[in-house]
Amino acid sequence: MLCADLLRRSFLQAPGGSPQADLVLGALVEARRQDRSAALVVDGSLGGGAASRRRIRALYADLVLLNRHEVRALLPAASCPPGRRDTAGTPELAALAQEIEAVVVVKGDPDRITDGVRAWQVPAGHPGLARHGTGDVLSGVAAGLLAQTLPAADAAALACHLVGTAGTALAADVGPGWLSQDLLGAVAAALRDLLTTPGGPNRGA
């Protein structure tokens, strides 16, 4: 997760790659070839285009989190005709997931998830989540759930639900002035509520 975030920041600073990004990517790809037991979440498009799709596939990522602009950068141009590049359809997202061999999450309202075969929507998004740092929280929550051995699609859906629910709660309790760091406590509260809701998941079952 930290290595993937460093890659994302490096490619944002120098689109198409940089010596720092290439060094980290090479080390992480080699590590993943030897051992894929740890969960890996990529937050962002790593620059976009076919080269980035190859980079993500080489990383054996479990999840790839994207906003609509990153989807536009990562998808092949031919798969998004003019006028549709901001609203990639389910078939285009499924093809992307198949190509990079990872579950794809497109953040929004609703959040959209696909493993290349199946597709889901999580209607828990909130406009207040469209701010700096909230994607890092979502990445961390998803990585934590993956570390608990949840399947990637399940981890993605639960992470989106928890972060979306937390954002809605913060907007109601605090108003528009809440910070991304406030999400952490709100996500924990959302998880507690979910676990204690009758009919909700039960770890003791």
Superfamily of domain 2-196: Ribokinase (3.40.1190.20)
Please identify every stretch of the chain with a pLDDT value under 50, giving residue numbers as ranges. Answer: 1-3, 6, 9-16, 85, 203-205
Sequence ranges of the domains in the chain: 2-196
Tell me: the pLDDT tens digits for 115-144?
999 999 999 877 778 877 888 899 999 999
What are the pLDDT digits (tens) for 172-201? 888 888 888 889 899 999 999 998 877 665
Q: Which residue pairs, CB below 8 angstroms and at least 24 apart, start in 153-160?
A: 153/103, 153/113, 153/115, 153/118, 153/120, 155/62, 155/63, 156/63, 156/103, 156/105, 156/113, 157/113, 157/120, 157/122, 160/105, 160/107, 160/111, 160/113, 160/122, 160/124, 160/125
